[in-house]
Chain A
Amino acid sequence: MKPIIRFSSHTVVLPFDDIDTDQIIPARFLTTTTREGLGDALFSDWRYDSDGSPDPDFVLNTPAAQGAEILVAGNNFGCGSSREHAPWALLDYGFKAVISTQLADIFRNNSLKNALVPIIVDPKTHAWLLEHPGTEVEVDLEDTVIRLANGQAVTFPLDRFSRYCMMHGTDQLGFLLQQDEAISAYERERAWPI
């Protein structure tokens, strides 16, 4: 994983609430055995017509959306299945951050593990972002803020450990494996059978 400190990009807005992981990446694409190449299937059922051609009305297919690295979604993004293919597809497409008022727990966890920055903002900031599609936003992990074109800097919650890992490009498995002694001691000493 590449370390992330800060980056800025224009946004794409998907204003619907409760966008589930089946919309982010439908189940028929989950037969893959690798993490790569899922970007083409991102939002597949919304993005393409039934004959496979891009639907010109869908926001990701508009010229303004090209190159956007930040997705602003309606409330409660990423609910549903635990498929990590959802953040993989978003990253493979080119997104680096998702902003909403709420992100589903498993989706949020999966995003943190892959350095797709999950950003939760207050309803007022969210409303402003929804009303200004394409606006330039700076994401800064050092200060855990997003900076908006209206001059506002809005902090967002980010677990310290995940922040550290994203800023250093550290894989969390390494940290877990360092706990080997404690894990072995737990297995040995637990009063009831493992």
Chain B
Amino acid sequence: MSAKSLFEKVWDQHVVVPESEDTPAVLYIDLHLIHEVTTPQAYATLRAAGLPVRRPDRTVATMDHSTPTEPVTTLKDIDVVSQPAAARQIKAMIENCDEFGVHLYGFGSEHRGIVHVIGPELGATQPGKTIVCGDSHTSTHGAFGALAFGIGTTEVGHVLASQCLLQRRPRTLAINISGRLAEGVGAKDVILAIIGQIGVDGGTGHVIEYRGSAVAGLSMDERMTVCNMSIEAGARAGMMAPDDTTYEYLQGRELAPKGAAWEEALVRWRSLPSDPGARFDRELDLDVSNLAPMVTFGTNPGMVIPIDGTVPAKVADPGFKKALDYMQIEAGKPLLGKPVDVVFIGSCTNSRLSDLRQAAHILRGRKIPDSVRVLVVPGSQHIKHEAEAEGLDQIFLAAGAEWRESGCSMCLGMNGDTVASGKLSVSTSNRNFEGRQGPGARTILASPATAAATAVNGAVSDPRQFLN
């Protein structure tokens, strides 16, 4: 048998009907994650056709995008803290899941949170699975060696009704990452550097496999940060080979296999990594030894520089000029020292316990200037409680930050947590698009360490200043 890549193995194992020139492959989906924003119309399709959800047991539902980050205990609270349309959407989700028999990790659940945070946290995300969600950052789950990608609402309906998707096989791109990360430099900086190098459309049509010694050395939280932003390079998905770090993370989690099933799963999972000699359609090498913390300066994640660098001057490009005008950032100048109005620590990219610890490490015993609003939003209720058990909330609150309930929050500003027009935000999220954090909001993407350092100084700062 010829050598196969991780992607090819997972793909082949899930083909129900092979593709032909006339028809795409029918691909079986092991895990369907759903949230309130991209499902109401899909449920409506099922209802209109009189169809049930085929595998409610393979469907995991939560609410994250439009949910308030103020505490909610009763459904009445939602009306109080949410806008009417958001409240309607939340209630529709509760009713739809109830009607179709899908378990919802809703208000009051320890595992309500950002859909890409709770999948792994519950142990539902596992190596070798096909995982989809009506959300582009589904690529996050590829960190476990799953084939995970975002779909639209029509396809959400397809999966609800048939547990399958019609798919053409994507191409593959191997990114070999070597070297040792310097202190103060992390997974977020690695993925921002990759997007800067290949561009926001560099991965279009491809599934990326991140490989190499630097990947093996990353924790699961860090691996998820890298895979999460694969979509920002246009990739269909990002994957990493499962290894002992993966298994250690999963063992004992609520939905992970137990006992003999765990042992069987381990044998299967160990066969998943790409065979030696596996072929990829494209390959790319990256040495991260000299990487600095990265920050974006423009209006897409590919417009990125090292924190000690200067904004490039490509003024001949009208799009580039439009982006700098929007950001009110000058070509040829550094970003370091630029005053900011808001710091957001959260999102499916960087809201896990280790992200919060990094930020707390820098904020401990320090005061945030009054001019800066700092919002810390954990990825799930479980992470919130873990952080509180360690006293991280007290560190944030003492520094002058706000400590919230879990959700997407200021990553996309759907729930009322927004950055005001014209204000500059340093955010640990994944998109610095125009208006992403609110109409007219200006966003710089950075790691949790860079965000925390920026919060302390009230201006874009190098986290390496706080190394001790």
B314 CB, min distance to chain A CBs, angstroms: 12
B residues 280-338 with Cβ under 8 Å of A? 300, 302, 318-319, 322
Q: Does A152 contact B (CB under 8 A)?
A: no
Is there an interface contact between B168 and A15, defined as CB atoms closer than 8 Å? no
Is there an interface contact between A26 and B21, defined as CB atoms closer than 8 Å? no
B376 CB, min distance to chain A CBs, angstroms: 21
1/0 contact string of A26-46 vs chain B (CB within 8 Å):
111011111100000000010
B272 CB, min distance to chain A CBs, angstroms: 12
B residues 11-45 with Cβ under 8 Å of A? 16-17, 21-24, 26, 28, 30, 37-38, 40-41, 44-45
A103 CB, min distance to chain B CBs, angstroms: 8
1/0 contact string of A68-99 vs chain B (CB within 8 Å):
00000011100111111001000000000000
A187 to B38, CA, bound (A): 26
Question: Considering only CB atoms and an 8 Å cut-off, how many residues of chain B contact the other chain?
Answer: 74
A residues less than 8 Å from B433 (CB atoms) = 20, 22-23, 80
Q: Does B164 contact A (CB under 8 A)?
A: yes
The residue from B17, B150, B435 contacting A182, defined by CB atoms under 8 A apart: B17
A17 to B323, CA, bound (A): 11
Is there an interface contact between A50 and B204, defined as CB atoms closer than 8 Å? no
A113 to B65, CA, bound (A): 24
Of the stretches A53-61, A135-143, A168-176, the one at the interface is A168-176
Is there an interface contact between B164 and A176, defined as CB atoms closer than 8 Å? yes
B residues less than 8 Å from A35 (CB atoms) = 41
1/0 contact string of A93-114 vs chain B (CB within 8 Å):
0000000001011100110011
Q: Does A63 contact B (CB under 8 A)?
A: no
Q: How many A-B residue pairs have CB under 8 A?
A: 182
Is there an interface contact between A183 and B26, defined as CB atoms closer than 8 Å? yes
Is there an interface contact between B436 and A22, defined as CB atoms closer than 8 Å? yes
Q: Does B414 contact A (CB under 8 A)?
A: yes
Is there an interface contact between B154 and A113, defined as CB atoms closer than 8 Å? yes
A114 to B41, CA, bound (A): 13
A residues less than 8 Å from B83 (CB atoms) = 31
Is there an interface contact between A17 and B319, defined as CB atoms closer than 8 Å? yes
B85 CB, min distance to chain A CBs, angstroms: 4
A84 to B151, CA, bound (A): 9
Q: Does B398 contact A (CB under 8 A)?
A: no
A residues 103-156 with Cβ under 8 Å of B? 104-106, 109-110, 113-114
Is there an interface contact between A179 and B164, defined as CB atoms closer than 8 Å? yes
The residue from A22, A34, A82, A159 contacting B150, defined by CB atoms under 8 A apart: A82
Is there an interface contact between B319 and A18, defined as CB atoms closer than 8 Å? yes
A164 to B17, CA, bound (A): 19
Is there an interface contact between A173 and B22, defined as CB atoms closer than 8 Å? no
Is there an interface contact between A26 and B85, defined as CB atoms closer than 8 Å? no
Q: Does A7 contact B (CB under 8 A)?
A: no
B residues less than 8 Å from A175 (CB atoms) = 23, 166
The residue from A15, A161, A173 contacting B45, defined by CB atoms under 8 A apart: A173
A175 to B201, CA, bound (A): 31
| B128 nearest CB neighbor, chain A only | A192
A106 to B30, CA, bound (A): 20
Question: Considering only CB atoms and an 8 Å cut-off, how many residues of chain A contact the other chain?
Answer: 54
B residues less than 8 Å from A183 (CB atoms) = 16, 26, 28, 162-164
B residues less than 8 Å from A15 (CB atoms) = 318
Is there an interface contact between B155 and A109, defined as CB atoms closer than 8 Å? yes
Is there an interface contact between B21 and A50, defined as CB atoms closer than 8 Å? no
A191 to B5, CA, bound (A): 20
A26 to B421, CA, bound (A): 14
Is there an interface contact between A186 and B85, defined as CB atoms closer than 8 Å? no
| B22 nearest CB neighbor, chain A only | A160
A residues less than 8 Å from B435 (CB atoms) = 22-23, 26, 45
1/0 contact string of A1-34 vs chain B (CB within 8 Å):
0000000000000011110101100111011111
A102 to B234, CA, bound (A): 11
A75 to B300, CA, bound (A): 14
B residues less than 8 Å from A22 (CB atoms) = 412, 431, 433-436
| A109 nearest CB neighbor, chain B only | B152
Is there an interface contact between B439 and A179, defined as CB atoms closer than 8 Å? no
A173 to B164, CA, bound (A): 10
A91 CB, min distance to chain B CBs, angstroms: 12
Is there an interface contact between B204 and A104, defined as CB atoms closer than 8 Å? yes
Q: Does B9 contact A (CB under 8 A)?
A: no
B residues 134-154 with Cβ under 8 Å of A? 134-136, 138, 150-154
Q: Does B236 contact A (CB under 8 A)?
A: yes
Of the stretches B86-94, B209-217, B342-350, B354-362, the one at the interface is B86-94
| Among all A-B residue pairs, the 9 with the closest Cβ atoms | A31-B85, A110-B152, A84-B152, A33-B40, A82-B150, A76-B201, A113-B154, A84-B153, A82-B136
Known A22-B431, A79-B201, A113-B154; further 8 A-B contacts with Cβ < 8 A: A22-B436, A30-B414, A105-B170, A110-B154, A161-B23, A177-B162, A179-B164, A186-B16
